[in-house]
């Protein structure tokens, strides 16, 4: 049977299943992917088997021309194969994220320093004192406590000199953290301080959950930069390639906005239609990636420069991401951190000091 016949949904004469596509092409363990093709279910209406490498995944929905399968724990990047009545389909490649740290509580993007070390928060519930506020994951994925004594660590950012800053939504403050974990107050009095990000000039921007985006100049003067609708949980900030600030703030709506704020503080809607959008990052081509729900599916949503949205990574509980060296990405859920070899170069968050 030719390709045109398969696209028209005609059956193989030998009844052998055939995969045409797997979407999205990347997932976390537990994420659900949609497999389209032909003869994907036995004629007896029994469910097919779906193998992710050597590990069998569970089939959520099945029909002759598509099925939805859940990526099993322990799966790795490699082939997906559908089997029915003793026949196996052609293999189709999928990328699967690898867990590198668990028992965490990130509420925003993870962060990477210049050496590639990963930092993730154990934020805790509002007002909860936790033993370790931030964990450091080195390039060999060894996890060590990095910072204690900070209540509700929320968002992490590095300036162009490589200095770490952390917000506390409990204290409404931003702290500067030395490489040895020594902490000092950088700015305070910003309500429920959540997302933070630096622009190219070294100004720090802070989202207050009540709807204010603050701008803190290098001399620590604080200005009101922009005003948005209040968020039910947090604001997440990221700078685009042209110096615009992008902001998400999940509300009770299933059609939340991604806002764009120009350098003069003018607010516009960049995209509408995401469910509980949270952490963001840009790739080197200017495409935006958001941890959000889209069309009822949770994962990482890509929004192209032209405004087209697609789910690119399937996974429940995703709250943020950060591009890493080697065309990879670090993904954070509400309790763990994952590495995904994605082959997508990221946009540097801050230009390095010269």
CB 194 within 8 A of CB 154: yes
| CATH number 2.60.40.1080 is the correct assignment for the domain at 99-341 | no
Residues of the chain with CATH 2.60.40.10: 3-96
Please, which residues have CB within 8 angstroms of residue 348's CB and are 6 or more apart in sequence?
none
pLDDT for 47-99, tens place per residue? 899 999 999 999 999 999 999 999 999 999 999 999 998 899 999 999 999 99
Which stretches of the chain drop beneath a pLDDT of 50?
1-11, 13, 352-354
pLDDT for 128: 84
| CA-to-CA dists, residue 39 to 81, 87, 116, 264, angstroms | 13, 10, 45, 56
pLDDT for 233: 76
pLDDT for 2: 47
pLDDT for 85: 85
CB 96 within 8 A of CB 26: yes
Half-sphere exposure of 308 (CA within 13 A, CB side): 4
pLDDT for 9: 44
Tell me how far the alpha carbon of residue 2 is from its chain's centroid: 39
Tell me how far the alpha carbon of residue 40 is from its chain's centroid: 31
The answer to whether the Cα torsion of 130, 136, 141, 143 is positive or negative is negative
| CATH number 2.60.40.10 is the correct assignment for the domain at 3-96 | yes
Residues of the chain with CATH 2.120.10.30: 99-341
Lookup: tokens for 65: 């021309």
Residues counted in the chain:
354
């Amino acid at each position: 049977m030719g390709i045109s016949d398969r696209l028209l949904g005609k059956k193989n004469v030998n009844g052998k299943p055939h995969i045409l596509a797997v979407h999205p092409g990347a997932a976390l363990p537990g994420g659900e992917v949609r497999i389209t093709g032909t003869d994907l279910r036995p004629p007896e209406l029994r469910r097919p088997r779906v193998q992710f490498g050597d590990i069998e995944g569970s089939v959520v929905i099945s029909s002759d021309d598509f099925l939805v399968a859940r990526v099993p724990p322990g799966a790795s990047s490699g082939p997906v194969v559908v089997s029915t009545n003793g026949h196996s389909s052609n293999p189709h490649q999928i990328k699967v994220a690898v867990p590198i740290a668990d028992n965490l509580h990130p509420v925003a993007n993870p962060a990477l320093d210049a050496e590639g070390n990963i930092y993730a928060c154990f934020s805790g519930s509002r007002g909860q004192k936790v033993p370790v506020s931030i964990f450091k994951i080195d390039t060999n994925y060894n996890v060590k406590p990095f910072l204690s004594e900070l209540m509700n660590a929320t968002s992490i950012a590095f300036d162009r000199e490589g200095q770490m800053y952390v917000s506390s939504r409990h204290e409404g403050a931003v702290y500067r953290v030395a490489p040895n974990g020594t902490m000092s107050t950088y700015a305070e009095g910003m309500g429920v301080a959540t997302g933070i990000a630096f622009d190219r000039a070294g100004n720090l921007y802070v989202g207050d959950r009540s709807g204010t985006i603050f701008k803190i100049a290098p001399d620590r003067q604080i200005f009101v930069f922009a005003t948005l609708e209040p968020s039910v949980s947090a604001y997440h900030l990221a700078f685009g390639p042209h110096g615009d600030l992008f902001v998400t703030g999940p509300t009770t709506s299933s059609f939340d906005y991604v806002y764009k704020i120009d350098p003069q503080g003018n607010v516009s809607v960049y995209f509408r239609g995401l469910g509980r959008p949270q952490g963001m990052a840009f790739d080197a081509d200017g495409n935006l990636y958001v941890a959000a729900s889209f069309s009822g599916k949770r994962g990482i949503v890509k929004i192209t420069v032209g405004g087209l949205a697609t789910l690119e990574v399937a996974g429940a509980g995703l709250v943020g991401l950060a591009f890493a060296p080697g065309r990879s990405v670090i993904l954070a859920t509400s309790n763990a951190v994952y590495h995904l070899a994605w082959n997508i170069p990221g946009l540097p968050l801050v230009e390095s000091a010269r």
